[in-house]
Amino acid sequence: MRGGPDGEGPEREGPDGGGTVAGDNGTWEVILDERKALASDLGAVGTDAWETRSLCDDWTVRDVVAHMTATSKLSGPKFLFKIAGAGFNLGRLQRRDIAMERGDSPAETLSRFEAQLDSRGRPPGPLDTMLGEVLVHSEDVRRPLGIAHRYPTEALTRLADFYAGSNLIIGGKRRVDGVTLRATDTDWSHGAGPVAAGPMLEIVLGITGRRNALDRLEGAGVDTLRARS
């Protein structure tokens, strides 16, 4: 269901709304369900909207979806082969993959994504990186399009714990060092120092450096996060 232009409005609960994600099987269920929910939302999006700027750096909505398709096709050996071919430059690898998976039209971009909905392919590393790949990038797409969605709370808290404790790729641990993160919609907190408080989704997005989310957090710690994002 569509919300307002800033992503606010009636929310549709995630397919696993609030259910457990304990263990790899539970995590994969959330990943696959959330992919399918995003594909369903994108099926109602007009062609022009696919070129909307996403929350993710300089990528459009279409770029993000193409990236998600490419990531779902990876394995450890395939990733190592491709990153070597890109001169061990992750940005170059991502640009190449996006160009390949965009296809000739938004309809083809979506079709390629839909073909991977049940894929368990992923790059090397903790499974939480793939959980974040799907949940965070889904919101990178939805929010600029004004599509509200309720993600499973336990999945969000798991991601917040992971990102706040790791500098892998996104530097989340460094970003939140010396800040108390406190959720206002569930019983979760992390760290010590000036507080940055708000909904769990905004905390996850804030840890990953999405500046849009910082406008939805409150407290003296928000300025610290903003300076590091």
Look up the pTM and report it. 0.88
pLDDT score of 22: 54
pLDDT score of 154: 96
Q: What is the pLDDT of residues 50-67, one digit of tens each?
A: 999 999 989 999 999 999
84 pLDDT higher than 50: yes
The fraction of the chain above a pLDDT of 90, given in percent, is: 88
**Which domains are seen in the chain, by residue range?**
15-150 (1.20.120), 155-227 (3.30.1050)
Average pLDDT over residues 88-97: 96
Q: What is the pLDDT of residues 127-154, one digit of tens each?
A: 999 999 999 999 999 999 999 999 999 9
Average pLDDT over residues 169-178: 96
pLDDT score of 24: 84
pLDDT score of 57: 83
pLDDT score of 6: 34
Q: What is the DSSP string of the chain?
A: -B--TTS-S--EEPTTTT----HHHHHHHHHHHHHHHHHHHHTT--GGGGGSB-SSTT-BHHHHHHHHHHHTT--HHHHHHHHHHTTT-HHHHHHHHHHHHH-SSHHHHHHHHHTTTT-----SS-HHHHHHHHHHHHHHHHHHHTB-EE--HHHHHHHHHHHHT--TTT-HHHHHTT-EEEESSSS-EE-SSSEEEE-HHHHHHHHTT-HHHHTT-BSTHHHHHHHT-
pLDDT score of 201: 98
